[in-house]
Structure 1
Amino acid sequence: MFPAPPIPVFDGHNDILLRLYYAPDRREQIWLKGEGRGHLDLPRMKAGGFAGGMFAIYIPSPRDPNAPDFEAMMDRPPYDLPLPAAINAPAAQPVALTMAAHLMWMERSSNGAFRICRTAAEIGACMARGTIAGVMHMEGAEAIGPDLDALYAFHAMGLRSLGPVWSRPTVFGHGVPFRFPSGPDTGPGLTDSGKRLIRACNALRILVDLSHLNETGFNDVAAITDAPLVATHSNAHAITPSSRNLTDRQLAMIRDSGGMVGLNFATVFLREDGRRAPEIGWEPVLRHMDHLISHLGEDHVGFGSDFDGATVPEGITDVAGLPALQQALRRHGYDDALLEKLCWRNWLATLRRCWGA
């Protein structure tokens, strides 16, 4: 019997723009030709049934040659990684503009195979004709100053999803450190500027991503927003007690708001022992997925891979491994109707609720 054809996947988070930022002279090889490194490129997206996703603009901290080996620390729990210093908007904006330009170049260079989308209807149209849909996302709002003027400029460029923080503090709020074991209650939440940012995102219909916010910041967003609560790439704290994962209370709040969670493939957020090593088999992935569905309902869960931003299980390896993940979920008892929801239908429905179109 032949295996079922792969179901298209819309993914909640990836970091290919960071790869392009660090190697602009090799961007054609990375994106168009594929060089066998990292997790994403255009040929492997096509092979894996990657229909689209959120493409993150992320401002990396300056590289410190004297910094500890964080990856080695994450293989020896417990750990508590020190957060980098905050980055101000004048320093962050040139980097963010470069990454936005890379995303636009990806569209222009793809010969119609990739398109930046601003509405759920555009994503659906891309999927219908086999074009990969990209949504501009910000993972950390360092490039947005407290006057919020840059938010409107990036929105005009296509920004439709934004996380106020990437763990490192910003003028808008505080994120969770990379700490295991730990709960998400790690400090203060949104600043007054952060609360203005959430209201501005609501007015512009920009999705607010909760994935890196600490618990107080999560609560602050929930108290302010008029949109569904969404964590684009997070897992279940009840299974893996990482500060980055969501408690059952938070999952209930997301469910009740009509929001959703994208299952993060990062091994440090999947493994019960919090380690980074990719040799984990399918069991941790299945346990997290079962838990998310049991607490959120099958209409509020999807994928948020963190491709090109994390170590992923060896069974997935890269974007071309998405069909293998689907087969593992089928063997676990998930039928195709549920798989379609997890792979793309839930994301499109949530984006319609967030964006209104």
Structure 2
Amino acid sequence: MELVFDGHNDVLLRLWRNRATGGDPVAEFAGGASDGHIDGPRAKVGGLAGGLCAIYIPSTEEFALKEPDENGHYATPLSAPLKREPSLDIALQMASIALHLDRSGAWRLCRSTADIRAAIDANVFAAVMHMEGCEAIDADLTALDVFYAAGLRSLGPVWSRNNIFGHGVPFAYPMSPDSGPGLTDAGFELIRTCNSMGILVDLAHITEKGFWDVAKTSDQPLIASHSNAHALTPVARNLTDRQLDAIKESRGLVGLNYAVTMLRDDARDNAATPLTDMIRHIDYLVDRMGIDCVALGSDFDGATIPADISDAGGNQKLVAALKGAGYADDDLAKICRENWLRVLASAWHE
């Protein structure tokens, strides 16, 4: 079994939502859940050894992709910006869940690559606290210190909506990621502060202008934790060849997003998406950037994924498909975990 360290999941969001209706996050993760994609038992079956676990504040309105028109095209409007105070409350609740899981032994909250490797060796899920969209962080960045102390080691300045730090891309097809402005003045300061603190910066949801703003400001490898190739599936969330070239030059990485809307030719939200669509994106990314710059970023618990994988327990089906496509054992180790551990070590000043 090829163990996987995954670049993005939304299990904390699912656990938080279930707790609001009486669920016990520790029991649900440790003992197994009847919904979603990730829990401890399914992670072990699928060789999911750990990953970046997102604190994500849901939009106040119900989010859904806009229905495609007669040509299969759609353009979902950006979600409205969120207020900071309720966002901070939710972020703290999700951080609390992450800490409770750590204290219970259901997973291990990792702050270094040594922590990750030790957790994997101990057969304990290696969780890294990530923030997807920084609505909970103030412009003065005082809350960032507190979240860092709690274990935050990775963040994306924006989700697909705008905030005080920058602008996000919409969920739209076909559309360029060059869809709006980039970082704000507060966003530039956030990037510089993350660099000095050793917090990884994730570019998965930011506009192309924001991508280049980060590229000219950050001293880290450029990372898009859960994105795919725009040349194959031209949704705004995917990355252009020019962006991929910049990621390669920085020795960063792209984590393959399992979301079917970012894999399919038609970008439809259809779980009947073959594993060959995942392989063609991996092949394209490897051909463009090299094997050292490609990893996995499933978006488990945050998107519709191919039915053949179904949940974390099906991860080895992708590994088997990659092996069948000619990827050697050393290549699989890099794609599945070692590339992530390399860029995390760089961003964390190890």
Into which bin does the TM-score normalised by the smaller protein fall?
Answer: over 0.9
**Does the C-alpha gap of structure 1 residues 114 and 71 become closer, same or farther in structure 2, counting only changes over 3 Å?**
farther
Partner of 2:93: 98
SS at structure 2 position matched to 1:329: helix
* Contact kept in structure 2, 1:245 and 1:269, CA below 8 Å: yes
Q: Matches of 1:133 and 1:97 in 2, distance apart?
A: 20
What's the RMSD between the two structures over aligned residues?
A: 1.5
* Correspondence 1:190 to 2:170: no
Match of 2:260 among 267, 287, 294: 267
- Report how far residue 29 of structure 1 moved: 4.8
Match of 2:78 among 69, 80, 83: 83
Aligned residues: 347
Partner of 1:3: none
Identity %: 50
State the Cα deviation string for residues 13-52 of structure 1 (Å, max 9, x = none): 0001111111112134531222331100111111111111
* Correspondence 1:225 to 2:223: no
SS at structure 1 position matched to 2:191: helix
**Does the C-alpha gap of structure 1 residues 312 and 74 become closer, same or farther in structure 2, counting only changes over 3 Å?**
farther
TM-score with structure 1 length normalisation?
A: 0.94
* Correspondence 1:60 to 2:55: no
Q: Which sections of structure 1, spanning at least 5 residues, go unmatched?
A: 1-5
Partner of 2:171: 178
Match of 1:209 among 202, 213, 216: 202
SS at structure 2 position matched to 1:292: helix
* Contact kept in structure 2, 1:195 and 1:221, CA below 8 Å: yes
Match of 1:47 among 35, 45, 48: 45
Where does 1:1-357 land on structure 2 (aligned, <5 Å)? 6-24=1-19, 25-26=22-23, 27-64=25-62, 70=65, 72-73=67-68, 77-110=72-105, 113-357=106-350
Q: Which sections of structure 2, spanning at least 5 residues, go unmatched?
A: none
Q: Matches of 1:150 and 1:171 in 2, distance apart?
A: 14
Q: Matches of 1:74 and 1:94 in 2, distance apart?
A: 38
- Report how far residue 102 of structure 1 moved: 0.7
State the Cα deviation string for residues 126-173 of structure 1 (Å, max 9, x = none): 122222110000000000011111111111111100000001101000
Q: Matches of 1:348 and 1:84 in 2, distance apart?
A: 33
Q: Matches of 1:191 and 1:131 in 2, distance apart?
A: 39
Q: Which amino acid aligns with 1:297?
A: G
SS at structure 2 position matched to 1:56: strand
Q: Which amino acid aligns with 1:304?
A: G
Question: Where has structure 1 moved over 4 Å in runs of 4 or more?
Answer: 71-76
